[in-house]
Structure 1
């Protein structure tokens, strides 16, 4: 024998057979619970209470926390931008100081070379009148001395510039630059001037 279908078979003791295979269950006479008019006022009260509680929680707990997080983030971002601006200004000042010291060192080297050249030329001119043959040999030696001093002075300028650049880069980045990069930069600077 086949089992009765619970959807179409009424519970025992109910007389709800309507005919033609339709079952009228007593609960079928009621509307969807949220739309029933006799519970509508209670539903509105619970809706208002739930909305009020949710609003209170959002206004007193969640939104102040979110606002605090956003404020902290904005403050930290502003602080970081100010620090970056300050560090950029320091880097610009250090770069300008380096360029100035390099120009000063090169100017001093030219001045020393010119002074040495002038001194040697004056001495050579005075002696040329008395001993022209001997002066030619001394003039060659003087030119060699001048070239050596100029190279020595330029070597000192390169050393000073290298030390200054290394100190600036180390101060700005916190790491000492490698020697090869520093030499390439000094070579480019020397060829540019």
Structure 2
């Protein structure tokens, strides 16, 4: 079998580095590099701490403070607006109850005025009807008296006609008047 021309080439195309070039294992676990790694760790941590303390954290604190101030202001404004809304609601309820009371008073006043007007009309109509009834009764009494006065005359004429037909002669006026008086006709 033929050997590859380059001793570091592999069958997948990657170059393989001989182990002797690296000098051992994983560098962070090498004991002779611990001191320099710890120094660089302390320097990076210190620089990061300094940057956070002087730049990032003050900005974050400012943002948080501004946000807390804005939230507090918004809550105060919301509380003020709620108080105004409650006051407006109470004023609305009061004006609504006042309007209802006024409407009831107007309705009662109107009902009372209409009842009084109806009572006045009823009394006027009753007075007019009583006057008409009195006039009708007076007319009826007058006509009844006239009729009753005429009854005596009609009775006398009828009695005279009957006697004349039965006897063939007219009855005596004095006897006829006496007979009519005994029956008690009004004069």
* Equivalent residue, structure 1, for 2:98: 104
Is the counterpart of residue 34 in structure 1 residue 36 in structure 2? no
* Equivalent residue, structure 2, for 1:89: 83
Q: Return the offset for 1:30.
A: 3.9
* Rounded Cα–Cα distance in structure 1 between residues aligned with 2:99 and 2:23: 104
Q: Return the offset for 1:37.
A: 3.1
CA RMSD between the two structures:
3.1
Q: Return the offset for 1:24.
A: 6.8
Decide whether aligned partners of structure 1 residues 3 and 123 sit closer, same or farther in structure 2, where only a CA change above 3 A counts: same
Tell me, what secondary structure is at the counterpart of 1:6?
A: coil
Decide whether aligned partners of structure 1 residues 3 and 108 sit closer, same or farther in structure 2, where only a CA change above 3 A counts: same
* Equivalent residue, structure 2, for 1:73: 67
Aligned length: 121
Q: Return the offset for 1:92.
A: 2.1
Q: Return the offset for 1:50.
A: 1.0
* Equivalent residue, structure 2, for 1:49: 43
Q: Return the offset for 1:52.
A: 0.6
Kindly name which structure, 1 or 2, has the bigger radius of gyration based on alpha carbons.
2
Q: Which has the higher contact order (CA 8 A, sep 6+)?
A: 1
Decide whether aligned partners of structure 1 residues 126 and 25 sit closer, same or farther in structure 2, where only a CA change above 3 A counts: closer
Decide whether aligned partners of structure 1 residues 123 and 26 sit closer, same or farther in structure 2, where only a CA change above 3 A counts: closer
Give the alignment's TM-score, normalised by structure 2: 0.52
Give the alignment's TM-score, normalised by structure 1: 0.51
Q: Deviations over 1:68-127 (max 9, x none)?
A: 222222222222222222222222221221121121112112212212332343354355
Is the counterpart of residue 59 in structure 1 residue 59 in structure 2? no
- Structure 1 residue ranges without an equivalent (≥5): 9-22, 136-193
